[in-house]
Amino acid sequence: MALRYVPLALKHPPKPTIQHFALLAGLEAAVRGTLISVMPLAVREAMGGTVGASRIYFFAGIISLLWGLMVPWFTRHLPRRWMYTAGACLYLAGMALALADTSVTVPLALLVNAMATATTFVCFNAYVLDYVNRAELGRGQSMQMVYAATPWAVGPMLGVWLYSYSRPLPFLLAGAFALALLTAFWVLRLGNGKQIARAKGPAVNPLAYLSRFFAQPRLIAGWLFAVIRSCGWWVYVVYLPYFCIESGLGDKVGGVALSISNALLFISPLMLKLARRASVRLSVRTAFGLCGGLFLAASLVSPLPWLTVAACMGASIFLVMLDVVGGLPFLMSVKPSERTEMSAVYSSFRDVSSILTPGAAWAVLAVAPTAAIFAACGAAMGAAHLIAGRLHPRLGVQRPSRGGEPAGAEAA
């Protein structure tokens, strides 16, 4: 009888909306955006040089990759809400390690932050696939970009400025954002997501679902799109500033270019609107093709550094567009019963690109100048353009007969 007087909102948590997920994405972007330009400086100082810092980044990428693949196994023993909470707490632990400022704690901070990103990313994608229907995935992706636009545009410059003023400040600010992320998550009461009934049987090995992933070409293609897109951002964020320094343009041009490009996230809804007039296949293929062409042009005009910067900034427009629509081929092809597992596979694109890009750049620099890295990136984009041509023509096209739901896995 007492339950009759309990407000309905307390008995039944409201269903999370696209705006709620965008809020979480924006808060995490604030954490990562504040640190994206600060951690490389801190790691290089702690390790005493670029070679030592590169070694730390390489091993951190490998460990983070393995950790991300193990997250689904952890969620079988730990409810998803606690797994997401653990990811947010790892961010807080990473800030504490960075504040200690030693040659041991700073590399550990980099590793712990990478693990935090992998954990929250897997859980976040699983929540999105649970609560956002397929017809709204594109709008959800776009709104997440809008909420993340300001942190990614302001965070890098703000973090570096705070670091130069007082070393602890950017880590304290990022820690405050991580605490806000954790608070928002619990206020939204996402719980453990929707439970999908499975056939009874023995527990699945943590890596057993990789065979199911490799058996689905559409998932492989979607994952490759994410890896190549992420490699493009690595080249833009890391190697364009290196090129500017080597060409005599200074060390600030690359940072300004990154801030301008990140500001393009504000127009991601317009990009989505343009993409929805065509199919996902046409949008993804066009973006990869034009992005690859501009990176190749950046390499060819390298004797004129400012033209190279302009070409790379043009390529970043299509990188942002790929951030909006490039993940849809994967998300639209995931089976409901494999949401958590395939979210873990998808999240590995960050770590794979963080290993692949420095390794490929090292090989290129052994025989060619820095500008040749842009050409290698353009070639990878061209390969993605060809792969995108094999997507189903009606993927993402509105179908009035099914209530306007985009064609997804069924059509393919």
Query: Per-residue pLDDT tens for 260-288?
Result: 887 777 777 777 777 777 677 788 888 89
pLDDT of residue 9: 46
Chain-wide mean pLDDT for the chain? 78
Determine the Cα–Cα distance for residues 198 and 382; give it in Å rounded to an integer.
40
Structure tokens at 165: 């003023």
Determine the Cα–Cα distance for residues 47 and 104; give it in Å rounded to an integer.
9
More confident residue, 228 or 6: 228
Structure tokens at 216: 């689905």
On the question of pLDDT at 294 being above 60, the answer is: yes
pLDDT of residue 207: 57
On the question of pLDDT at 205 being above 80, the answer is: no
* Domain 211-398 in the same topology as domain 16-193: yes
pLDDT of residue 2: 45
Over residues 38-55, mean pLDDT? 72
Over residues 326-346, mean pLDDT? 71
On the question of pLDDT at 306 being above 80, the answer is: yes
User: Per-domain residue ranges for the chain?
Assistant: 16-193, 211-398
Determine the Cα–Cα distance for residues 220 and 5; give it in Å rounded to an integer.
52
Name the residue among 241, 259, 251, 226 with its Cα closest to residue 356. 226
404 Rama sector, left if φ>0, alpha if ψ -120 to 50, beta otherwise: left
Binned at pLDDT 50, 70 and 90, residue 3 comes out as very low
User: Mind listing the pLDDT tens digit for each residue in 351-407?
Assistant: 788 888 877 877 787 788 888 889 999 999 999 889 888 776 555 555 554 444 444
Binned at pLDDT 50, 70 and 90, residue 132 comes out as confident
Determine the Cα–Cα distance for residues 138 and 325; give it in Å rounded to an integer.
7
On the question of pLDDT at 33 being above 80, the answer is: yes
Determine the Cα–Cα distance for residues 360 and 354; give it in Å rounded to an integer.
10
Over residues 289-317, mean pLDDT? 93
On the question of pLDDT at 125 being above 90, the answer is: no
* Percentage of the chain lying above the pLDDT 90 cut: 19
Structure tokens at 222: 């979607």
The CATH H-level superfamily of 16-193 is MFS general substrate transporter like domains (1.20.1250.20)
Whole-model pTM over 0.95: no
pLDDT of residue 173: 94
On the question of pLDDT at 303 being above 50, the answer is: yes
pLDDT of residue 1: 44
Beta bridge partners of 405: 399
Name the 3-class secondary structure at 279. coil
Determine the Cα–Cα distance for residues 12 and 9; give it in Å rounded to an integer.
5
Over residues 343-354, mean pLDDT? 77
Binned at pLDDT 50, 70 and 90, residue 98 comes out as very high
Right CATH for 211-398 from 3.40.50.970, 1.20.1250.20, 1.20.120.920, 1.10.238.10: 1.20.1250.20
pLDDT of residue 311: 94
pLDDT of residue 201: 45
Over residues 246-264, mean pLDDT? 75
pLDDT of residue 197: 38
Binned at pLDDT 50, 70 and 90, residue 339 comes out as low
Binned at pLDDT 50, 70 and 90, residue 291 comes out as very high
Determine the Cα–Cα distance for residues 238 and 260; give it in Å rounded to an integer.
15
pLDDT of residue 94: 93
Name the 3-class secondary structure at 2. helix
Name the residue among 26, 104, 112, 29 with its Cα closest to residue 64. 112
Q: Is 225 exposed, middle or buried (0-12, 13-18, 19+ CB in 10 A)?
A: buried
